[in-house]
Structure 1
Amino acid sequence: MNQSILTRYSEARKLYGKYDIDVDKVLDKLSKIKISLHCWQGDDVRGFLNKDQELTGGISVTGNYPGAARNVLELRNDIEKALALIPGKHKVNLHAIYADTHEKVELDELEPKHFESWVKWAKENGLGLDFNPTCFSHPKSEDGFTLSNPDKKIRDFWIKHCMACRKIGEYFGKELGQKCVTNIWVPDGYKDTPIDRLEPRKRLKDSLDEIFSQNVDEKYNLDAVESKVFGIGSESYVVGSHEFYMGYAIKNNKAICLDAGHFHPTETISNKISSVLMFTDELLLHVSRPVRWDSDHIVIMSDELEEIAHELVRNDLIKRTHIGLDFFDGSVNRIAAWVIGARNMIKALLKAMLEPTELLKKLELEKDYTSRIVLLEEFKSYPFSDVWDYYCEKMDVPVREEWFDEVKQYEKDVLVKRK
């Protein structure tokens, strides 16, 4: 252990200890929180099944930074490099298009066998896996509608695909001993204002009912549904709105996925977490950073990220919440993007845990708002970064920006050689 880091940590422990914050216990608790790292940052959401298919469904990745993964081996190597720079043991989030198979297989024909190598790899690395149907970038989604498509044949194709994905999620959970979150998001919507908003939603509800009628063991698979306010090609109307999925999830005991970029620009998901968990057992977060629209920018240490972490910690909601990242940026080193986002998410949780929550709640109940704001502001300058440095050192990952030296070396040795 670096002596300077240890000294600063010891001093920080004393400061936090004045408010009965046991920093050692905080770090132990933090080490048990798993972040789900999204695989699609590594190859710009191309996948391996239909990698030449144009991105559709309102999804856009800009930039041509060298080194995007071209196959499953490169993608796993890149993920391993990122995870080696992130403290803790985590999960990896897959989309259906990342199946590892040499046979020609359609989305509605996917089976657990097409992901056996992913499970083997996850076991070797001590990782959990999460999963998503891929209801975009496909000839059968080109008109902008999948599970709510008026064409029953197309609708049935996507229903079968989602059912296949739930069985794959169950397989992940059973094999890895960690519950898999299988999240359904569809891009269905209209560019201009529709005449009929109701019928597409009826069709989406019926499709979901059929998908979830399938018997899947809840010990191994958690179903989640994800809304969106608008997207490219669905600016005026999205079938799966927040209100639609909130009602559906509560009525059918499913998890709601709150994506940080899927709401109006003035809305934040931090303010929705406690409301949603009043009525659902579990919650899925897709932590991203919207810039003017759902642009999926790299997660930075923003006010909203800290508010998300505070909401989870202050009300002890972490144990009911599954935290995943969801951004894709092709303009920067893709491994650096993963590391920045994941480390910031963990940092935000740590900062929230190093707060005298019970004292602040007591002051609030006593209507001593002056003391409350004084403590909140003063704790912003408490030495949480010294605790973070110690945590990284303890977890055997680089401290501060030292991790970037490894990424630059990996880029020089590996990434720039990819064509």
Structure 2
Amino acid sequence: MPYHFQHYVLCEMPGTGIIMSEINEAYALAKKAYARLGVDTDQAIEVLKKIKISLHCWQGDDVAGFLFKDQALSGGIQVTGNYPGAATNVQELRQDIEKALTFIPGKHKVNLHAIYADTDEKVDLDQLEPRHFEGWVNWAKQQGLGLDFNPTCFSHPRADSGFTISSADRETRDFWIRHCKKSRKIGEYFGKELGQTCVTNFWFPDGYKDIPVDREAPRQRMKSALDEVFLEEIDTNCNIDAVESKVFGIGTESYVVGSNEFCLGYAVRNNKTVCLDAGHFHPTEVISDKIATVLMFTDQLLLHVSRPVRWDSDHVVIMDDELNHIAQSLVRSKLYERTHIGLDFFDGSINRIAAWVIGSRNMIKALLKALLEPTEELRQLELDGDYTGRLAMLEELKTYPFGAVWDYYCQTMGVPVRESWLAEVKKYENEVLKTRT
């Protein structure tokens, strides 16, 4: 690292008087600029503090988990890259998550898959119990975090046929029904213990590589199986169920059982939550336009914010147009009050902690940027038919000093400002990640 960059990073670290002064001065000017639009930056920050992001644990170890470490990835899931330092056990994964959270402003949640059970027992998915996740709950209490959950319906011998809960084989189908039932109870346990509602999300990789003859029967089997999974009453203050669709996957290019129409219809009819994953639709289709519509017919919504590059490739979230549109959809009608925001990407080609930090900070930045819009003024321009004014204002807002507000927010929340976190991640990589086998 060149000396001038080292010096710049050092100066940008929170706690140096000169930089804190500069940040405060820049924020004061930004506050005045936004105030002229009728936007209270302090109020926007207070709203932002209450919005939680669910940090996906599987970024830390390339979706390997701890129950079946030798099992190859399946279900259309692929992780590329072999950057050093992937977590190899639950202690390392939690250590890495803790480090990432020191760079992310706010108090958030962690999203677990069933294969990340904290246990030395040899236990299969359909035999998992809350006790197998007691270590995670104790850790979450210490960290002040909530937990979300997912049954793991992939990377398992019972999923090798390409079908899980919609399998034509009754024994296979029953196995996944049992696993999903157990997952709901684990989610309810998380909610009760942590005092934060757990979202348990159900996604299945079921489908055909080539064109099927019978498109109905697998969906009938999936519907009946889900009816059985959700038969038992669960305390919705502790756990809510979400169903996640997908348009296609590797190995299911021609037909996916859990299509968008299936999951949306099932959720609306059965009072379940829909999960919209940014990578699970056609390449030119975006979820930002779906948020308000889905919430017209469901009480709550789950988002898996990812970045598809030509397909469901789960790239690290960057602050692109679609991320800003997602945030605007959530903020302009206060739909964030009914939406659970989770991240879902896995990149093994870069530092995994940096991936968490980049993606999370970008999601929060986009929310802040949306919160700094003069929403009522923009809405009135639209109602008045002043589309010229609407377009002009939206374009001018792009160069308003939201970055100064972001820097101030990071400083007040006690996390590094701008890219100063990167030096700390590099230090952690050298001292911790590179020592792992």
Distance of 2:420 and 2:262 partners within structure 1 = 45
Aligned-partner SS, 2:196: coil
- Is 1:355 matched with 2:373? yes
- Is 1:199 matched with 2:179? no
1:365-394 Cα offsets, whole Å, 9 max, x none, are: 000111111111111000000000000000
Distance of 2:149 and 2:69 partners within structure 1 = 18
- Which residue of 2 is the match for residue 292 of structure 1? 310
- Which residue of 2 is the match for residue 416 of structure 1? 434
Distance of 2:67 and 2:277 partners within structure 1 = 26
Question: Superposed, which structure 2 residues align to 1:64-213 within 5 Å?
Answer: 64-213=82-231
Question: Superposed, which structure 2 residues align to 1:7-406 within 5 Å?
Answer: 7-406=25-424
TM-score by length of 2: 0.96
Aligned-partner SS, 2:308: strand
CA RMSD of aligned residues (A): 0.5
**What is the CA distance between 1:215 and its match in structure 2?**
2.1
**What is the CA distance between 1:299 and its match in structure 2?**
0.1
Aligned-partner SS, 1:11: helix
- Which residue of 1 is the match for residue 14 of structure 2? none
Count of residue correspondences: 419
Aligned-partner SS, 1:293: coil
Aligned-partner SS, 1:36: strand
Runs of 4 or more consecutive aligned structure 1 residues displaced over 3 Å after TM superposition: none
TM-score by length of 1: 1.00
Distance of 1:368 and 1:300 partners within structure 2 = 32
Question: What's the % identity of the aligned pairs?
Answer: 70
Matched AA of 2:428: Y
1:233-262 Cα offsets, whole Å, 9 max, x none, are: 000000000000000000000000000000
Distance of 1:215 and 1:284 partners within structure 2 = 20
1:251-296 Cα offsets, whole Å, 9 max, x none, are: 0000000000000001000000111000000000000000111000
Distance of 1:180 and 1:415 partners within structure 2 = 30
Aligned-partner SS, 2:80: coil
**What is the CA distance between 1:185 and its match in structure 2?**
0.2
1:168-218 Cα offsets, whole Å, 9 max, x none, are: 000000000000000000000000000000000000000000000012111
Distance of 2:159 and 2:381 partners within structure 1 = 54
**What is the CA distance between 1:342 and its match in structure 2?**
0.1
**What is the CA distance between 1:20 and its match in structure 2?**
1.4
Distance of 1:313 and 1:25 partners within structure 2 = 13
Return 5+ residue gaps in structure 2 as ranges. 1-16
1:318-339 Cα offsets, whole Å, 9 max, x none, are: 0000000000000000000000
Matched AA of 1:113: R
- Which residue of 1 is the match for residue 9 of structure 2? none
**What is the CA distance between 1:44 and its match in structure 2?**
0.3
Distance of 1:369 and 1:291 partners within structure 2 = 32
Distance of 1:221 and 1:399 partners within structure 2 = 35
Aligned-partner SS, 1:296: coil
Distance of 1:232 and 1:366 partners within structure 2 = 48
Distance of 1:296 and 1:214 partners within structure 2 = 33
- Which residue of 1 is the match for residue 3 of structure 2? none
Distance of 1:316 and 1:338 partners within structure 2 = 26
Aligned-partner SS, 2:199: strand
- Which residue of 1 is the match for residue 6 of structure 2? none
Matched AA of 1:80: E
Aligned-partner SS, 1:294: coil
Distance of 1:233 and 1:397 partners within structure 2 = 42
**What is the CA distance between 1:219 and its match in structure 2?**
1.0
